[in-house]
Structure 1
């Protein structure tokens, strides 16, 4: 009996394990201390030492061999596009003295080409497929040389980027140097290229789903439109696209040409940029794996694409499976909405924290599908605690809400209804209002979305989304509190819990004591809420209070941070927002780089205004913290060093602003 190791996590691991179970395969997977969300869906599991092991080819193959697996399915992300892993699977029989492990995906050579964006461009050009002007670059000077030939704007990309990582649009000289550096930092191989940017009104992101059997058979399963993006990370996808058939037909032909030349095996997505006004188009890249948004193709074709992957890995041909686009015409429309743990109102900042099963309510009904790793306890052993942690180690995707309708209008209406039923209470915020705002916008209904549209209309989209969901979650004539029901509008999307019952006159006893072993006696105080102006605790609480800390009444506003704690508070210090000598972290993330002044033990420790104090990695994307003025670093914050995960508000450095003051 075949046995597959699913070398991934989250919803895609669950998706793959379910299909393997249906086929009667034995299943295994890997997990970490911080995430076992998918583990109970497998027959057997093995714990990884660290998150980085998901990218360790030797470790993954070792796990597969030790568990007696015949196949490895990489899912998406991590090692899914690794020709090194595919080659190691082929060679595994030599080291184990038996049959080799089968890699469920394209051949080693096809992966080598498809996973390298420049080699993919060369492939496209070799079969007469349109590509934008581009070249490899190893320095910012190389980028400038390219700009001198083609002009701005240009796009710098990591050869092995993905999910919006390792991509920056450069529109002028002032951002070129920093953009190059950030792309380099987000590229695992530290290899970049640059191409002429095809962005702005009219330009849509279209991708074609390909299936090949590795024996000469290739077919397409129509196209998806993925133009609703933020920082080139897809947010909403639809199938089929809003383009006329005459505009997408050349993309099918181009994809089949490239797939045939690669002797393509398994699932692949061939991506393009298409100008809806002029019908110009250019090849973008190949994703040689199952795609995040494969779900909507499944909905319009009624084909289980992951099942096809498994069967093809065992030698089945497209003919034997009766898989062809002619046999499965696109019927109806499907939309995928990515629910993420991000706060769009705070620059899409990651919203980490703990989610309990009772905090979530999923939409349901005809034409609604949910793919998520927040499983609500399905398949969990007795006594298992149904809680999940959202942190910076993995991407922010919580769930994919997939809706299907006979028409684009019906699918859109279903999507809005599904979003109005979604609930997530607690401290983790989501982008539900953003998604609703997209579906309710005129640009969505008229098909005039383009790849930079969302970033240019974000405020308007959020406003409409909030109004729409608030209006849909009011039940006239029903007193929800009397009925014992939490108000939907108090909990939707933003993550607020139902307000804690606090009344004016409520008294709290506060004890303050040092955490060390000093003999200082605890200080006891009393706080009394005099008035309550706004109660949406824990998100926000305001009013006035009396306290023994001071004799005069105090007005107060308590607002929960956009980030929940993800590391030990005792290991770091908090920045005082009222102290100009404190530079704090504006977000939660992993420190990947610090200004030399923060670690220098002697010599100059000067930091100029606008210089990078720290670089933080959140979901494998890098953000910089800049010095607000010329200063001298007195010391780094407690525990601040590369590799450490810190929270929003953590003290990065204490500085002396005398340099700035001397200029005034």
Structure 2
């Protein structure tokens, strides 16, 4: 009987695994939630989950695997991929189910950064100084020994989550708290930060069959990152083979000790100038950037991973036991994310529609994305929500040389188009590949953060944004919204032209509205239109009965996900006492002053006091925590309607009203 695999994941990695399984003749099962269906169409069967939290529920996933009579479970990456409890639960099923991943003991070590470091040290593999910490006071004690800068990390973080660099004492307590909040197990440790010129992030791809036989497929460089989230990865690195070889040897040493089974990635920091290096961690699963190793090694790593968990399969039987020569070609993975670089990489949820989507193609270009659908389950749109990470697609490009690879990458990014209300980081990706430091190879792990503004400018220029402006394709009072250029730039198709006349009626709303306030009607005429990409953007001048002189206007659509307007209130951007949500996200923590104000505490204003820089609310968006801080000292006069822990609030929502002491009436003091 052919194997049957449950892919306990979503998005592009679920599609990637389902495709390889189908090629092998395996039966497949997917799990999904409402509004996140694209990967489910690639499976033979699909089971609906109640919520996104079920992707992390061991009992739920194991139960589905058992009920659907699966022989295997593939966890992908993230979610339960590094949780030994899932492997153990599957082994304990009435009919044991094979977990496609390392043994529970290996997962226990690999998923705990402290245990991984201890294993590396026992094998004479160097690590940065660090220790487990249980409080901010513990971190202070560590700083006394290690000195700034330090790094605080969640023991079980990943994908850039649960990591903060601390350079000053006043940053320490908040950084500790945020890392703790992003750690599923609520455990963190402190480590000496190795950052600055020359420090690169290098990782080694290994494979093992559980007998002690292991092999490697060389290395990748992942130094282009922001907030420790990788943006761009290349394979191989351009470091010399003698510099890279110690990292490969260390990876094989650790993997043999663990009798590693399956795919794994061993991560390091290395200083290209001095040659110093340290071990970071083990990722005991398929890695997001496995794609570029596949391209330069001409291997299907996921296929090999699946086969390793069938009866008596070894590296030898798969012809993967013999060392592979170093690759001679280059590949790059460009992570396209739902982020707006012009707003400090603010996450951008929304809807992507099929007509607004164009992917690059051609020799050497591969796209791995969940913005797709199987012919048997055709989709017209995809919802980019706040429950999952911001990755939209991986643009993978291969060339015979680094220069050819870069040329192809630039061309591919120029062909990419995503319209609608979701903003992306495509201009940053273009700026990276166009920067002189990219060509020279002089990039370190903080390079993107130091040069973000310049990189964005380069990327916008490379993508033709500036030339479009100079040609008048976007900024022209006489432009009509139905021109081909107008559609290409803004996607606008609404028949709104200069001279369009509107009647505006303003009146109280609902049964509770003040009946003494009369309705009012006004006339509006669009005198000129500067940009029409409605409903995303509409700007120009108008004449109205509201004012005797013409008014300039700009109407832009928020990137917020849908939020019920009756459940919240919007902040007045002209009122300095109003604190607004800068992005859509779930409220996970409120300042005690907001809690007191929302519960109608009568204990006096001292409980309502906030200080400048204190976190007012913590919003979690796509598994990352975002802090909204108090802009000044003051008192929380009231909390915005509907703002409470656990709810999703939209961009522009009123969080609270903060008044300074001089603004408060004397009766409140």
Q: TM-score, normalised by structure 2?
A: 0.93
- The reply to whether residue 597 of structure 1 matches residue 593 of structure 2 is yes
Question: Following the alignment from structure 1 to structure 2, what is the Cα–Cα distance between the partners of residues 513 and 14?
Answer: 50
Per the alignment, residue 335 of structure 1 pairs with: 332
Q: Which residue is equivalent to 1:648?
A: 651
Other-structure match for 2:323 = 326
Assess if the C-alpha contact under 8 Å between 1:441 and 1:461 holds in 2: yes
1:636 deviates by 1.0
Secondary structure in 2 aligned to 1:235? strand
* Residue of structure 2 in register with 1:362 after alignment: 359
| Aligned equivalent of 1:224 | 220
> How far did 1:547 drift?
2.1
Asked if residue 263 in structure 1 is aligned to residue 264 in structure 2, the reply is: no
CA distance in 1, matches of 2:589, 2:322: 49
2:497 aligns with one of 489, 496, 503:
503
SS of 1:225's equivalent in the other structure is strand
* Whole-angstrom CA distance in 2 between matches of 1:558 and 1:471: 20
- Cα offsets for 1:162-190 (capped at 9, x unmatched): 00000001111121111111100110101
Kept in 1, the 8 Å contact 2:130–2:192? The answer is yes
Instruction: Give the whole-Å Cα distance in 2 for the aligned partners of 1:458 and 1:36.
Output: 34
CA deviation vs aligned residue, 1:127-177 (integer Å, no higher than 9, x gap): 111111111100111111111112111110000000000000111112111
CA distance in 2, matches of 1:536, 1:291: 38
1:321-470 to structure 2, matched below 5 A, reads: 321-324=318-321, 326-327=323-324, 329-375=326-372, 377-381=373-377, 384-470=378-464
Q: In 2, distance between residues paired with 1:289 and 1:488?
A: 45
2:234 matched residue in structure 1: 238
- Mapped to 2, the partners of 1:498 and 1:224 lie a distance apart of 41
Query: 1:530: Cα distance to partner?
Result: 1.4
Instruction: Give deviations 1:234-258, integer Å, cap 9, x for gaps.
Output: 0000000011111100111000000
Q: Distance in 2 between matches of 1:246 and 1:328?
A: 14
Task: Flag the 1:252–1:472 CA change in 2: closer, same or farther, 3 A.
Answer: farther
5 Å matches for 1:24-103?
Answer: 24-92=25-93, 96=94, 99-103=95-99
Q: Deviations over 1:405-464 (max 9, x none)?
A: 000000011000000000011111111110000001011101000000000001110111
Query: Does 1:171 find its partner at 2:174?
Result: no
* In structure 2, C-alpha distance between the alignment counterparts of 1:372 and 1:473, rounded to whole Å: 30
Offset of 1:554 from its aligned partner? 2.1
The residue correspondences of 1:135-146 to structure 2 (distance < 5 A) are 135-146=131-142
SS of the aligned residue for 2:406 comes to: helix
CA, structure 1 residues 661+527, in 2 after alignment: closer, same or farther (shift >3 Å)? same
Residue 24 of structure 2 corresponds to 23
Once the two structures are superposed, residues 189-229 of structure 1 have per-residue CA deviations (whole angstroms, 9 ceiling, x without a partner) of 01001111111110000000010011121000000000000
- Kindly report the root-mean-square deviation, in angstroms, between the aligned alpha carbons of the 2 structures: 2.4
- Equivalent residue for 2:638? 635
**1: CA distance between counterparts of 2:543 and 2:461?**
37
Distance across 1 between alignment mates of 2:511 and 2:279: 65
In 1: Cα distance, 2:316 partner to 2:59 partner: 36
How is 1:8-19 mapped onto 2 (pairs within 5 angstroms)? 8-19=9-20
Q: Aligned with 1:278: secondary structure?
A: coil
Q: Does 1:194 align with 2:190?
A: yes
SS of corresponding position for 1:461: helix
Alpha-carbon distance in 2 for matches of 1:489, 1:529: 20
Residues 460 and 466 in structure 2, CA contact (< 8 A), matched pair in contact too: no
The alpha-carbon distance between structure 1 residues 278 and 188, as it changes in their structure 2 partners (threshold 3 A), is same
Aligned twin of 2:628: 625
* Residue of structure 1 aligned with 2:612, choices 609, 612, 615: 609
Is 1:564 the counterpart of 2:560? The answer is yes
Query: 2:216, 2:663 → 1: CA distance?
Result: 61
Q: Cα distance 1:660–1:182, how it changes in 2: closer, same or farther (>3 A)?
A: farther
Q: Is the 8 A contact 2:593 2:609 kept in 1?
A: yes
Find the residue that maps to 2:408 and give its secondary structure: helix
Residues 106 and 236 of structure 1, relative CA distance in 2, 3 Å threshold: same
Aligned residue pair count: 649
Moved more, 466-475 or 307-316: 466-475
Is this contact kept in 2: 1:632–1:659, CA < 8 A?
no
Indicate conservation of the 8 Å contact 1:153/1:171, yes or no.
Answer: yes
Structure 1, unmatched stretches of 5+, are none
Q: Does the 8 Å CA contact 1:470/1:489 hold for their aligned counterparts? A: no
- Kindly state the Cα deviation for residue 386 of structure 1 after the two structures are TM-superposed: 1.8
8 A contact 2:385–2:561 mirrored in 1: no
**CA apart distance, 1:648:** 1.2
Unmatched segments (≥5 aa) in structure 2: none
Task: Indicate conservation of the 8 Å contact 2:560/2:583, yes or no.
Answer: no
Q: Confirm or deny: 8 A CA contact 1:301 1:328 kept in the other structure.
A: no
Give the match for residue 296 of structure 2: 300
* Distance (Å, rounded) in 1 between the aligned partners of 2:505 and 2:64: 51
Cα drift, residue 499 of structure 1: 6.6
Matched, 1:6 2:7: yes
Q: 1:4 to 1:579 in 2, by over 3 A?
A: same
Tell me the distance in 2 between the aligned counterparts of 1:39 and 1:515: 42
